[in-house]
Chains A and B, each alone.
Chain A
Amino acid sequence: MDTGKTLIEMHHIIKKYSEAVIALNDVQFKLNSGEIHALLGENGAGKSTLIKVLTGVEKRDEGTILYEGKGIHFQNPQEAQRKGISTVYQEVNLCPNLSVAENIYIGREPKKGGRIDWKTINNNARVLLDRFDLDVNVTRKLDTYSVAVQQMVAIARASDISAKVLILDEPTSSLSRVEVEKLFEIMRRLRDAGMGIIFVTHFLDQVYEVTDTITVLRNGEYVGTYETGKLSKVELVGKMIGKEYAELNNKLEENSEETAEGELFADLNKISGFGTIQDIDLQVRYGEVLGLSGLLGSGRSETARLIFGIDKIEKGSFEIKGKKVKFKSTLEAIRKGIAFCPENRKTDGIVGDLTVRENITLALQAKRGMTKTISKQEAQRIADDYINKLDIKTPSSDQLVKNLSGGNQQKVILARWLATKPELLMLDEPTRGIDIGTKAEIQKIVIELAKQGMAVIFISSEIDEMLRCCGRIAIYRDFKKIAEIKGNAISEETIMRYIAGGDLYEKTI
């Protein structure tokens, strides 16, 4: 790979949020043109902080940053962007109520005679997105498209603005496999055009698929920079978190033995939703982890939403412990012993401005009712209990949840539901955007809970994880359940084939 000239050099970067919280300690980083550089590390390793320091979101305390050989000190991300460094974040940072084309050209609209030249904007936007093989109507509002499309638009905008450096912070979290392929193709094309790309991700497979160089951070310190081809995956994991991962992994293997069939908790009989799933049959039993597998939008999350009473059931019968139910609100579902960690933890999970303690006790308080207040002491006890049990990393239970890292926020939501002592726990993508250490921990907790007799529904896009956690897997395609496999029949290949839609397999059902 041709390494080109050095674009960015960072030396001895130190960033302290306070005397006690050192986010970056003497970190270095180097990016060449025509290179895709993976920035890796667990949550809290300092990846995001390093990017924030580079782009001027945060000010560094010490150290030098050279950009094309010149020392720089960006005051804000806009300045960085003007100089040719732009960032696409995990959460789409665009305006959902503006059109796709407006989003691409906002702040730099081409003008004609002092007025915005809409024709050029729309045409250029179309040409730009064509290059990304994105077939969208650029005059429609952004929020009429899926998150994946929005993310692609954000990347298109960034690559159009900055010709030199593109930073992608977890861009693939909400993309499907096909979309990821498309993104990688674009990344390679941009690299070949001489752009330097910094790629932050949690998916190690993707690192090996697309990057040239890897820089690893751990606990705010620089571990090293490696050529991707010369570092094995095991070595890489070792560099990122040390030995713990291997141990955790072993433990999980032991746990994934087949379990005896438990008692029936919920029985879905030919359930359909309005414009979503159709004729779904599903039995949920105590003491097992039932996986719902399929592509994004295949009906897995929709099933969980129907069970939890968020969306209405159109037809079919839904029984819990042999009794017919029809939930008018989530509260009724909660009172029947159901808990649900939704897919999007930021918008549907945490209440950011409330404390960790309040977030943990929120659902329990709702379950008990408004007048049966949980006293501060009791809330404190419950919160401390779960902070210990789930190893939630927070200075205290008084900390606002928005200040916690993604993995710890997920644990807080998990704690919220465990506090309600549920009989059925539904987890939708509980490990998305979370570092592998925490990921393994959450998987372990899930298996442990099922062992203790809880019914668990587990939804994930990562087949790896499904294999590890689930004793039985229902597979969805186009809002229909197309198969159910369990025990030894579960393998990556079978699941993939069902999802991909081999007709041969459908006949065997």
Chain B
Amino acid sequence: MKKLYKLTKLQAFWPVMILLFILLFNGIITGGSFFEMKIVDNHLYGRIIDIIRNGSKLMLLAIGLTLVLATGGTDISVGSVMAISGAVACSIVAGSLLPTAGGNVAIAITIAILAGVVCGAWNGFLVSKIKIQPIVATMILMVAGRGIAQLITKGKIVTVNSDAYYFINGGYIFGLPFPIYIVIFTLILALLVTKKTAFGLFVEASGCNPNSSRFAGIHVGAIKLLVYTCSGALAAVAGLIESAGIKGADCNNAGLMIEMDAILAVAIGGTSLNGGRFSIPSSIVGAIIIQSITTTVYAIGVPPEITQVIKAVLVIFICLFQSAEFKSAIMKKIQIRKVA
């Protein structure tokens, strides 16, 4: 019992509970077919696999945003960075940009990620050096980013014809879709960096109390620069997956409004938007929850016009469950009933 109580104190506990509930709900309304998995041509197919594959972009963004939010900032430019990265990569593969590269996919990927790093560093520079409020600072790139992407593609939708590039989204290794490996690799890397070095501690300290952190010898500015850069780089990777999925770069629609879903994923994971304590695995769970909701809404046959409303209602309930006050109020009600 005591162990169980301790478990409920973990940051990931409630997000995991909510996720299990949503999955169970899905299983029931689909009469079990939700959990079905089939192996076709050595590839695993099924709703769960779809959720993880389609949610991979969101998970990557959530990892980056967890760090940004933990420092007390925010980054609403990730969707635009995805568009830039997709535009860069597709243009290179298609040969319209940097023709000397000869459409080499590896070069395209590298330069696209570098573009993301530059975007992130720009955000970090505005926030930490120029000291613009994060939401305004990143809004600059959010608005300008799609324009930059249009410039790169010269205003057209660039389509690519490269199996190597398609592999980023559609490939399979050992029966599992390739994006899953990208997420797992990134997650392990992020956990190593935040847990095995003092980076995580410094991020939390900077988010809790930047003044005290500076007095204790932490370069708060450098930490901020770093987290925004990470967020930019991860958004670029998400942009690659997106463009590989639609086999081209659509600057107007790639990653449109995804920043809101990603911030929501972190919030559902229980990381405070005011900065401070964070948990990357919880944010991953948050991202899966959002992806599952999207899938659920389709599965129960909600007309597409009102899917956003249903999603919003569900999110309200989840946020209520995440609130400490709400939980303690419910606990009290239960206790009173027991006494009576």
Q: A331 interface residue, CB < 8 Å from B?
A: yes
Complex-state Cα separation, A340 to B217, whole angstroms: 10
Q: A21 interface residue, CB < 8 Å from B?
A: no
- Whether B209 lies near A351 (C-beta < 8 A) is yes
- Chain B positions 48 through 89: 1 when the CB is less than 8 Å from some CB of chain A, otherwise 0: 000000000000000000000000000000000000000000
- Chain B positions 302 through 323: 1 when the CB is less than 8 Å from some CB of chain A, otherwise 0: 0000000000000000000000
- Chain A positions 303 through 347: 1 when the CB is less than 8 Å from some CB of chain B, otherwise 0: 000001010000000000000000001110110000010100001
In the assembled complex, the CB of A133 is this many whole angstroms from the nearest CB of chain B, namely 33
Complex-state Cα separation, A370 to B197, whole angstroms: 6
In the assembled complex, the CB of B230 is this many whole angstroms from the nearest CB of chain A, namely 14
Which residues of A sit under 8 angstroms from B215, Cβ to Cβ? 308, 310, 330, 340, 342, 348-349
Question: Which of B205-224 touch A at CB < 8 Å?
Answer: 205, 208-209, 211-219
Q: B14 interface residue, CB < 8 Å from A?
A: no
A376 and chain B: residue at smallest CB distance: B195
User: Which of B205, B212, B213, B219 has most A Cβ within 10 Å?
Assistant: B212
Q: A134 interface residue, CB < 8 Å from B?
A: no
Q: A362 interface residue, CB < 8 Å from B?
A: yes
In the assembled complex, the CB of B271 is this many whole angstroms from the nearest CB of chain A, namely 12
- Whether A351 lies near B205 (C-beta < 8 A) is yes
B195 and chain A: residue at smallest CB distance: A373
Given contacts A347-B211, A351-B208, A353-B277, A370 and B217 within 8 Å (CB-CB): no
Complex-state Cα separation, A98 to B165, whole angstroms: 56
Q: B228 interface residue, CB < 8 Å from A?
A: no
B212 and chain A: residue at smallest CB distance: A351
User: Which of B215, B219, B276 has most A Cβ within 10 Å?
Assistant: B215
In the assembled complex, the CB of B212 is this many whole angstroms from the nearest CB of chain A, namely 5
Complex-state Cα separation, A73 to B197, whole angstroms: 51
Which residues of A sit under 8 angstroms from B277, Cβ to Cβ? 353
- Whether A349 lies near B212 (C-beta < 8 A) is yes
B199 and chain A: residue at smallest CB distance: A370
- Whether A350 lies near B217 (C-beta < 8 A) is no
Given contacts A353-B276, A373-B196, A366 and B212 within 8 Å (CB-CB): no
Q: A411 interface residue, CB < 8 Å from B?
A: no
- Chain B positions 174 through 210: 1 when the CB is less than 8 Å from some CB of chain A, otherwise 0: 0000000000000000000000111101101100110
Complex-state Cα separation, A342 to B217, whole angstroms: 13
- Whether B219 lies near A329 (C-beta < 8 A) is yes
Which residues of B sit under 8 angstroms from A348, Cβ to Cβ? 211-212, 215
Complex-state Cα separation, A351 to B277, whole angstroms: 11
- Whether B208 lies near A331 (C-beta < 8 A) is no
Given contacts A353-B277, A370-B202, A373-B198, A362 and B218 within 8 Å (CB-CB): yes
Question: Which of A348-374 touch B at CB < 8 Å?
Answer: 348-354, 358, 362-363, 365-367, 370-374
Complex-state Cα separation, A352 to B210, whole angstroms: 11
- Chain B positions 241 through 281: 1 when the CB is less than 8 Å from some CB of chain A, otherwise 0: 00000000000000000000000000000000000110000
- Whether A330 lies near B198 (C-beta < 8 A) is no
Which residues of A sit under 8 angstroms from B201, Cβ to Cβ? 354, 358, 362, 365
Complex-state Cα separation, A363 to B202, whole angstroms: 10
- Whether A331 lies near B219 (C-beta < 8 A) is yes
Residues of B in contact (CB 8 Å), total: 21
Q: A60 interface residue, CB < 8 Å from B?
A: no
Complex-state Cα separation, A348 to B212, whole angstroms: 4
Complex-state Cα separation, A365 to B215, whole angstroms: 13
- Whether B209 lies near A352 (C-beta < 8 A) is yes
User: Which of A342, A352, A353, A373 has most B Cβ within 10 Å?
Assistant: A353
Which residues of B sit under 8 angstroms from A329, Cβ to Cβ? 217, 219
In the assembled complex, the CB of B90 is this many whole angstroms from the nearest CB of chain A, namely 36
Question: Residue A354 contacts which of B196, B208, B211 (CB distance < 8 angstroms)?
Answer: B208
Complex-state Cα separation, A352 to B196, whole angstroms: 23
A329 and chain B: residue at smallest CB distance: B219
- Whether B216 lies near A366 (C-beta < 8 A) is yes
In the assembled complex, the CB of A400 is this many whole angstroms from the nearest CB of chain B, namely 10
In the assembled complex, the CB of B243 is this many whole angstroms from the nearest CB of chain A, namely 34
Which residues of B sit under 8 angstroms from A366, Cβ to Cβ? 198, 202, 216-218
Which residues of B sit under 8 angstroms from A331, Cβ to Cβ? 217-219
- Whether A353 lies near B212 (C-beta < 8 A) is no
- Whether B196 lies near A350 (C-beta < 8 A) is no
Given contacts A354-B204, A354-B205, A367 and B217 within 8 Å (CB-CB): yes
Complex-state Cα separation, A349 to B212, whole angstroms: 5
Q: A285 interface residue, CB < 8 Å from B?
A: no
Complex-state Cα separation, A373 to B205, whole angstroms: 15
Complex-state Cα separation, A353 to B209, whole angstroms: 9
Complex-state Cα separation, A333 to B196, whole angstroms: 26
Question: Residue A373 contacts which of B197, B209, B218 (CB distance < 8 angstroms)?
Answer: B197
Complex-state Cα separation, A374 to B200, whole angstroms: 12
Which residues of A sit under 8 angstroms from B197, Cβ to Cβ? 370-371, 373
Complex-state Cα separation, A349 to B209, whole angstroms: 9
Complex-state Cα separation, A363 to B205, whole angstroms: 11
Which residues of A sit under 8 angstroms from B209, Cβ to Cβ? 347, 350-352
Q: A416 interface residue, CB < 8 Å from B?
A: yes
Question: Which of A200-218 touch B at CB < 8 Å?
Answer: none
In the assembled complex, the CB of B324 is this many whole angstroms from the nearest CB of chain A, namely 14
Complex-state Cα separation, A162 to B217, whole angstroms: 45
In the assembled complex, the CB of B93 is this many whole angstroms from the nearest CB of chain A, namely 36
- Whether A374 lies near B198 (C-beta < 8 A) is yes
- Whether B214 lies near A330 (C-beta < 8 A) is yes
User: Which of B196, B201, B214 has most A Cβ within 10 Å?
Assistant: B201
Complex-state Cα separation, A308 to B276, whole angstroms: 26
- Chain A positions 182 through 216: 1 when the CB is less than 8 Å from some CB of chain B, otherwise 0: 00000000000000000000000000000000000
Question: Residue A363 contacts which of B199, B211, B217, B219 (CB distance < 8 angstroms)?
Answer: B217
B202 and chain A: residue at smallest CB distance: A370
Complex-state Cα separation, A347 to B216, whole angstroms: 12
Which residues of B sit under 8 angstroms from A372, Cβ to Cβ? 198
Which residues of B sit under 8 angstroms from A362, Cβ to Cβ? 201, 205, 213, 216, 218
B274 and chain A: residue at smallest CB distance: A353
Which residues of B sit under 8 angstroms from A363, Cβ to Cβ? 216-217
Which residues of B sit under 8 angstroms from A349, Cβ to Cβ? 212, 215
A344 and chain B: residue at smallest CB distance: B211
Complex-state Cα separation, A115 to B209, whole angstroms: 39
In the assembled complex, the CB of A504 is this many whole angstroms from the nearest CB of chain B, namely 40
Given contacts A347-B211, A352-B209, A416 and B204 within 8 Å (CB-CB): no
Which residues of B sit under 8 angstroms from A330, Cβ to Cβ? 214-217
Which residues of B sit under 8 angstroms from A365, Cβ to Cβ? 198, 201-202
- Whether B208 lies near A352 (C-beta < 8 A) is yes
Complex-state Cα separation, A85 to B212, whole angstroms: 35
In the assembled complex, the CB of A29 is this many whole angstroms from the nearest CB of chain B, namely 29
In the assembled complex, the CB of B160 is this many whole angstroms from the nearest CB of chain A, namely 39
Complex-state Cα separation, A354 to B202, whole angstroms: 11
In the assembled complex, the CB of B178 is this many whole angstroms from the nearest CB of chain A, namely 31
- Chain B positions 26 through 48: 1 when the CB is less than 8 Å from some CB of chain A, otherwise 0: 00000000000000000000000
Give 10 nearest A-B pairs by CB, closest first.
A366-B217, A331-B217, A334-B217, A363-B216, A353-B208, A353-B276, A351-B209, A362-B216, A351-B208, A365-B198
* Partner-B contacts on A (CB < 8 A): 308, 310, 329-331, 333-334, 340, 342, 347-354, 358, 362-363, 365-367, 370-374, 416
A351-B213, A362-B213, A370-B197 given; 7 more Cβ-contact pairs under 8 Å: A308-B215, A329-B219, A330-B216, A352-B209, A353-B276, A365-B198, A366-B198
23 contacts between A and B (CB under 8 A): A330-B214, A330-B215, A330-B216, A331-B217, A333-B217, A334-B217, A347-B211, A348-B215, A349-B212, A351-B209, A352-B209, A353-B208, A354-B208, A362-B213, A363-B217, A365-B201, A365-B202, A366-B202, A366-B216, A370-B199, A372-B198, A373-B196, A374-B198
